[in-house]
Amino acid sequence: MHDDRKLVEARLERVLRERIRPAVHPATTPLAVEIWSTPGEPVPVAEGLAAPTRPITPGTPWGTPWGTSWFKVTGTVPAEWAGRTVEAVLDLGFTPRTPGFQCEGLVHEPDGTPVKGLHPRNAYVRVGSPVAGGEQVHWRIEAASNPDLDASGVPFQPTPMGDKETAGDALQYVLGEMRLAVFDETVWNLVMDLEVLGELMAELPLDGARRWEILRAVGRALDAIDLHDVNGTAQAARDELAGVLAAPAVPAAHRISAVGHAHIDSAWLWPLRETVRKVARTASNMTALLEDEPDFVFAMSQAQQFAWLKDHRPEVYARVKKAVAEGRFVPVGGMWVESDTNMPGSEAMARQFVHGKRFFLEEFGIENDEAWLPDTFGFAAGLPQIIKAAGSTRLLTQKISWSRTNTFPHHTFQWEGIDGTRIFTHFPPVDTYNCEMSGRQIAHAARNFKEKGFATRSLAPTGYGDGGGGTTREMVAKAARMRSLEGAAGVEWEAPADFFAQAEAEYPDAPVWVGELYLELHRATLTSQAQTKHGNRRSEHLLYEAELWAATAAVRAGFPYPYEQLDRIWKTVLLHQFHDILPGSSIAWVHREARETYARLAGELADIIAGAQHALAGEGTRELVFNAAPHARRGVPAQGASAEAGEGGAVTPVPREGGGYVLDNGLLRVEIDGRGLVVSAYDTVADREAIAPGQAANLLQLHPDFPNQWDAWDVDAFYRNVGSELTDVAELGVDGTSVRVERVFGGSRVTQLLSVPLDAKRLDIDTEVDWHETEKFLKLAFPLDVKADRYASETQFGHVHRPTHQNTSWEWAKFEACNHRFVHLDEPGWGVAVVNDATYGHDVTRAVRTGADAGTTTTVRASLLRAPRYPDPETDQGVHRFHHALVPGAAVGDAVREGYRANLPERRVTGAAAGVAPLVTVDNDAVVVSAVKLADDRSGDLVVRLYEAHGGRARAVVRVGGFGAGQAVLTDLLERPLADAEPPAAADGAVVLALRPFQLVTLRLPRA
């Protein structure tokens, strides 16, 4: 037999493109179109509907960047179309490049009722099936002319289009055809048949009979089509395909649970306000599709996005609530947003689940059992415990498939966190969260699945995201054909909970992965947009203080606890932890607004703190020092206040022989040379030098930073090949009790203040950078005389250990990693901590010195600033302030304490009281209080959250003073009693706890 395979395949491609697809709409008639463009920001629907319009014709430019236009579309269904299916095809000027990321629209009835969203690959609106003829069509379309930042076709090019303040007013789009059309369902189904079979055929082995059976059936179908009468011969062609479409899948075929999905970034290449509208368009689209497709199931995550619908588009929200009640529009994830999980602090990560799950419970009566984070840039090792403490047991993500160095060995597994908690986790082997139901994707999922022989199921999130409108009718049709189709994986629409239940049942002994799920990509998101990161860190600690002091004042002084205000602020902070805001990978508009928001929240929280502390201090002139940290310091109790506090202060610098200065408090002697570099940090108590011989700390290093792609996201390993050390000094002198160092380089200036406190082994370094570099990476280096094979980085409710060596590719790939407040490394009996108040990215390397010493130098470098030009060409330009501390002789407990100290400064308040006793005391410094607050249900109960912070077993006595407390109750993060937990032990009115390493505990104490 002659091999005519390529001939048939090429024939199929051309006939589909040029004859069959165009025949889906065999008759069309134009609609009349008028337009009104808003002069500024989007207007309410009623205003858009009432606005005066003017005629516009196809081919006319419209839409300034980030503008909104309202189109009026009218027409009449021709009488001769009676009995036919009719729909409108409405082209706003879409480009074929992407399904989202460009102009988008929401169709309304004249009374403002939303109909469905318009997107480049979903531009139809059904008129009737069948029509009577003569129907009047009248719609209003709210259209957003969002600029396509990659319209040039060259990715990652700097552009001013990422902020309305710099985008200009050139019109972005050219209006396409707006037409009524007859919809030939038979031809459309033929298109679906041929696409499914053609895509499947391309994935089958050439030496298998099934590929050739399909090829011959396709050839017969193409023969059956009259190319000049496609509509009249489409059914005959379908008949030729019926046999190969009816052949069932083999029993061992991989099973795919498809779930409708529309991954919508809560901000990215558009501002937050546009996401509100993207969600409304997509939800309108999906509720309409659910009405047309009885087997279809759609899932949407992010409680914030549901809340936006509720607040801004209640009519769309009503449709969503109805579909949720029917079990077909499924809220998933149980988080406020799909947040970053590396950088949010312990409480913030917990509150993502508290606020997300509570919203779904209160609005829909639904308790989510899964975390849903398909696009987050890696997962911190503390997350499993948080997921479980929120009452969930499962996680879905896909992003780890983006790793560039190592291939993750599992698709379904148990993920074990730092405390031993295990979470059933699934990575969809389809390797996308925007599955289109193509034959290539389905075949890839089946081939790629790493659990073959142990498990048979995977999940496929299906639909276009980010304004692409979600799942399409074409995807649903393809899934129907692949429900059981020989040669393909079996596809069935299922809710995520159903998939997880079946996956767990068939794979009860799934393999275990211990520790963080590190993404070997997007490492620079730990540093980009430093002011956004500083705002997040500051907001987290201000919220901690506000809750602590407000709760203390409520119990002690009747202070009105600001429930609504704290709830609103928490949700705002959580929103800004979304995985393209906090990581710094959004457009300039997003980060400009974030800076403004953080400043506003800081003012509000400062007012709450001041009001509560004033209520506790009373009226008077005595100075009280308030210490919010969970550790006592300088005579001030943890989470209390005292008028008897020590003065603190720092030692006075003295000149150093050979130039520079010495800071010596009897515990620590620091030598700063004439270059402003720390050449010695000598632990006098331990008789031990911290700085490696011949090296200098407080060393600023500058690298070129031009990754191969994903500018704001990535730093590639080759950045380390070239760099310069900033050792030239513009000014070196004394400023009070600090050594002041100024350096000038490029267009930038750095000012540092170095000081040593009177009573602690700590070197404080305050750095101000007026940054005007581009495509550069600034690091702050501490070369330490410590031989350590691993080091500790703080993460949520504990710390994670990482190797300092690069024995394997897995270790080499972690050349930039995340820490919260500290990095700690040690030899037995002696260690060093590097503490920060606002940075997350860092690297740790080791080298063996040559010569007689032959010791090991372990260098910790904090990542300060980057300067990528996409998507924000002015990233990080301006003034930044950082605080770091070098703590020689530190055990890990010292690192924990110093980390809180750096982030929770003392506050001084005048009043009448001699002190304020802590509301909560813990007798073991290894057990750290992370939250003191009143219960969210407004019962007045006190809620205390604490965790074991050192990584060992700990026994602690927890006392609450100031009110008569009932029996303490162990609760989950949502402050609900744990059903299987014994009441904590009590002794002498206190709670006695025995904690495992890094164990998290939430106590609820009723107020008698």
The alpha carbon torsion through 482, 486, 487, 490 (nearest 10 deg) reads 40
For every residue of 661-728, DSSP letters joined together read EEEE-SSEEEEE-TTS-EEEEEETTTTEE-BPTT--BSEEEEEE---SS-TTT---GGGGGS-EEE--
Please give the structure tokens belonging to residue 631: 């550790």
Is 375 one of the annotated active-site residues of the chain?
yes
The alpha carbon torsion through 204, 205, 206, 210 (nearest 10 deg) reads -60
Residue range 90-110, pLDDT digits in tens: 999 998 888 888 999 999 999
Distance CA 899, CA 893 (A): 10
Is residue 112 a contact partner of residue 44, using CB atoms and an 8 Å limit?
no
Distance CA 822, CA 819 (A): 6
The predicted model gives 131-153 an average pLDDT of 94
Catalytic residue among 148, 375, 673, 872: 375
Cα 900 to chain centroid distance, Å, stands at 25
Q: What mean pLDDT value characterizes the chain?
A: 97
Per-residue pLDDT band for 152 (boundaries 50, 70, 90) equals: confident
Angle at 365 between CA 363 and CA 368, to 5 degrees: 100
Residue range 289-304, pLDDT digits in tens: 999 999 999 999 999 9
- Say if pTM beats, i.e. exceeds, 0.95: yes
Per-residue pLDDT band for 1007 (boundaries 50, 70, 90) equals: confident
Pairing relation of β-strands 329-331 and 298-300? parallel
Per-residue pLDDT band for 530 (boundaries 50, 70, 90) equals: very high
For residue 21, the 8-state DSSP code is G
H/E run at residue 76: strand 67-76
Is residue 428 a contact partner of residue 453, using CB atoms and an 8 Å limit?
no
Query: What is the number of alpha carbons within 13 Å of residue 425 lying toward its C-beta?
Result: 30
CA distances from 139 to 87, 292, 459, 829 (A): 13, 20, 37, 75
The predicted model gives 180-201 an average pLDDT of 98
Per-residue pLDDT band for 980 (boundaries 50, 70, 90) equals: confident
Is residue 887 a contact partner of residue 825, using CB atoms and an 8 Å limit?
no
The predicted model gives 592-615 an average pLDDT of 98
Distance CA 804, CA 784 (A): 13
H helical segments located in 272-337: 272-292, 303-312, 314-325
Please give the structure tokens belonging to residue 967: 């029996």
- The pLDDT, as a whole number, for residue 1 is 63
Does position 964 have pLDDT exceeding 80, yes or no? no
Lowest mean pLDDT among 646-655, 744-753, 926-935: 646-655
Single-letter amino acid code for the residue at 827: E
- The pLDDT, as a whole number, for residue 101 is 87
Q: What angle, rounded to 10 degrees, do the helices at 473-481 and 185-203 form?
A: 60
- The pLDDT, as a whole number, for residue 3 is 85
Angle at 878 between CA 876 and CA 884, to 5 degrees: 75
Q: How many residues does the chain have?
A: 1008
What are the two backbone dihedrals, phi and then psi, of residue 275, each rounded to the nearest 5 degrees? -65, -35
Q: 314 CB contacts (<8 Å, ≥6 apart)?
A: none
- The pLDDT, as a whole number, for residue 150 is 86
Query: What is the number of alpha carbons within 13 Å of residue 974 lying toward its C-beta?
Result: 21
Does position 797 have pLDDT exceeding 70, yes or no? yes
Burial pattern 668-691, b for ≥16 Cβ within 10 A else e, equals bbbbbbebbbbbbbbbeeeebebb
Find residue 337's DSSP bridge partners. Answer: none
Pairing relation of β-strands 394-396 and 370-372? parallel
Q: Among candidates 846, 839, 844, 805, which has minimal Cα distance to 819? A: 839
For residue 19, the 8-state DSSP code is I
Residue range 723-768, pLDDT digits in tens: 999 999 999 999 999 999 999 999 999 999 999 999 999 999 999 9
Angle at 436 between CA 430 and CA 440, to 5 degrees: 55
Q: What angle, rounded to 10 degrees, do the helices at 530-557 and 346-364 form?
A: 70
Distance CA 559, CA 579 (A): 36
Find residue 682's DSSP bridge partners. Answer: 669, 689
- The pLDDT, as a whole number, for residue 982 is 85
Pairing relation of β-strands 668-672 and 678-683? antiparallel
- The pLDDT, as a whole number, for residue 981 is 85
Terminus-to-terminus CA distance in the chain, angstroms?
90
Distance CA 361, CA 443 (A): 38
Find residue 492's DSSP bridge partners. Answer: 257
* Neighbour tally for 5: CB within 10 Å: 14
CA distances from 443 to 196, 490, 872 (A): 12, 10, 38
Own/partner pairs for 693-696, CB < 8 Å, 24+ apart?
A: 693/785, 693/849, 693/853, 693/855, 694/849, 695/783, 695/857, 696/783
For every residue of 180-221, DSSP letters joined together read EEE--HHHHHHHHHHHHHHHHHHHS-TTSHHHHHHHHHHHHH
H/E run at residue 765: strand 763-771
- The pLDDT, as a whole number, for residue 467 is 87
The predicted model gives 377-388 an average pLDDT of 98
Q: What percent of the chain has pLDDT over 70?
A: 100
The alpha carbon torsion through 642, 644, 645, 651 (nearest 10 deg) reads 170
Pairing relation of β-strands 412-416 and 422-426? antiparallel
Distance CA 167, CA 67 (A): 11
Does position 164 have pLDDT exceeding 80, yes or no? yes
| More confident: 662 or 646 | 662
Strand, helix or coil for residue 826: strand
